[in-house]
Chains A and B, each alone.
Chain A
């Protein structure tokens, strides 16, 4: 199977659109926004890039993975531990091996180490997962997330337990964030257009037919898993060096659900959809977050509503799934030919 020029052109056009959006956000951060707003904006860019990384696997394979948050956590912790100076590490994580503790890594080294860790972990887990029945993968990746989360939570000599890492050096500026977004977006679009991506989509649409065409199912799924993991590792490590402090609770259900819901709402099969979904959920959360602590509107006192953001997202997901199971955009990209418009409404 060769590269399709039409698919590449579609990906290139989509990249121009999404790249422009990210660049505009970055320029706005640098020129207009104050410190707290620019935090929200860079956070949005990095979360979006991680949603795109998840899309590479979930979108192309049609298999739900909760395990990507585990990659995120591993990347964040490895990058954070590598970047922290030894004297700060000694007080919060005394059991870190000396070579890592004394490293005080620069940005490329910290990200590189995080990527190595994620690749090893993804390769170890990817082999059995690629051979599983599709319906089991979601449950197995959930188990993976629980495993990683509980290890991070308990291994306090290295991870500082439930308190997490603090005072991680801020090695990231807006342009690094932008570059990360652009690399991940480009890679996701390229994978989507590539023969490997196409094979994975074929397996998603009809496993039996794909196998009959000679597509090696397990190997195809494994490739998607690895590409997606590497991108997740990149996004996660840059996120960690931007966030400066994080704790295990940030790598669990609330965030898994937030990221996956961005993907579902925007459209699972589309990179543009991942960005759109991330925007919708972020705006919705920022609007509703004010309600969580209870507020007074025009003399009317609204009581505390813990978890209102999660509740609203859950309702939104249910409604969108019932209305359009493929999410808002389905499989369509910003630079696409809208093939689905010719075929009638997209089924997947």
Chain B
């Protein structure tokens, strides 16, 4: 393989990995506080995407639609908390798997009935479709924007967790939720904040996702949900740093498989990368990170 091609593929993996890392972070924020996975997480991406499709089709510029899409994502996340998580606070963990799964299906059925079962296209402005070529390597504008936004989001999240009182409470809750409550943090507000942060991250990822894929379908949330799951599991459940590492690791595995696999196996990339994940878990059941080393940010 030439150096050009290598740089090209590394860049691709980096850009896909930034979206995966954001997705994984959003899922891990809730998991670190509650110890529960949100199976309606993918619907945040769906709701963000449909909001953007709707706004752009009404003539709102993409840059103005994006923040509104993120807000819609936050609302979806908070809605999930109110419907699937809050009423079941004392219930066993599996009940929340089912309740959040039910919310996910409700949102999908709602979109099928109210909007349409068919894909809805998003018109992406020309400047995002530009490609900058340096020394034979293609850098699409959207990929560059994706990487920049992901990095900025992660810096903002780190600042929130490190500098603010709420961030301190969230980091403490990730260590020991009960002890944090005893120290005077309000449990309900803390969980709501975790879902809001989760919704923000997933909403940003959703904006980048819909800009990349260009069309929204009712079940579009499933793939991002799966990527986030895999990244979080790889990164050692609940560790935020691990989630970011897991997101990039997954992207590099996927891109690597696409490059090195014989052509007839390329459709199997998703299956093979899931197999790789199972094998990794075979060797290290707790993912890359260990519980002891776990520190948020």
Contact = CB atoms under 8 A, between A and B. Distances in A.
Interface in A296-313: 305-308, 310-311, 313
Contacts of A135: 31, 35-37, 93, 237
Given A128-B281, A257-B105, A314-B109, A138 B37 contact: yes
* Interface-centre pick from A253, A261, A318, A348 (highest chain B CB count, 10 A): A318
A125 B237 CA distance: 19
A306 B117 contact: yes
A263 B31 CA distance: 25
A322 B277 CA distance: 34
Nearest to B117: A306
Interface pairs A-B: 10 shortest CB-CB: A325-B91, A131-B285, A139-B229, A314-B102, A307-B109, A311-B109, A147-B274, A128-B282, A325-B95, A322-B87
B88 A260 contact: no
B113 interface: yes
A325 B271 CA distance: 34
A136 interface: yes
Tier of interface size on chain A: 35 or more
Interface string B1-41: 00000000000000000000000000000010001110100
A348 B97 CA distance: 15
Interface string A236-270: 00000000000000000100010011001000100
A348 B110 CA distance: 31
20 contacts: A62-B92, A64-B97, A125-B278, A136-B233, A138-B39, A140-B281, A144-B278, A147-B278, A260-B101, A261-B102, A264-B95, A306-B112, A311-B105, A313-B102, A315-B106, A317-B99, A318-B103, A321-B95, A322-B99, A325-B91
A72 B268 CA distance: 21
Given A138-B37, A139-B37, A257-B101, A268 B94 contact: yes
A120 interface: no
Contact of A146 (B101, B103, B117, B270): B270
A133 interface: yes
B120 interface: no
Given A143-B274, A317-B99, A325 B36 contact: no
A132 interface: yes
A139 B231 CA distance: 11
Interface in B83-132: 83-84, 87-88, 90-95, 97-99, 101-103, 105-106, 108-110, 112-113, 117
A136 B109 contact: no
A133 B286 contact: yes
A311 B88 contact: no
B88 A322 contact: yes
A325 B113 CA distance: 29
A328 B275 CA distance: 37
B267 interface: yes
A210 interface: no
B232 interface: yes
* Interface-centre pick from A63, A154, A261, A317 (highest chain B CB count, 10 A): A317
A136 to B, nearest CB: 6
Interface string B48-79: 00000000000000000000000000000000
A12 interface: no
Contacts of A146: 226, 270-271, 274
A318 B35 contact: no
A310 B105 contact: yes
B37 A307 contact: no
A321 to B, nearest CB: 5
Contacts of A50: none
B93 A143 contact: no
B244 interface: no
Given A64-B98, A146-B270, A348 B37 contact: no
Contacts of B229: 139, 142-143
B230 interface: yes
A253 B237 CA distance: 24
A179 interface: no
Interface string A192-207: 0000000000000000
A64 B101 CA distance: 11
A4 interface: no
Given A58-B94, A325-B95, A127 B35 contact: no
A290 interface: no
A322 B102 CA distance: 12
A339 interface: no
Contacts of A62: 92-94
Contacts of A209: none
A299 to B, nearest CB: 23
Given A143-B229, A147-B275, A132 B268 contact: no
B233 A140 contact: yes
Contacts of B230: 139, 143
Interface in B262-281: 267-268, 270-271, 274-275, 277-278, 281
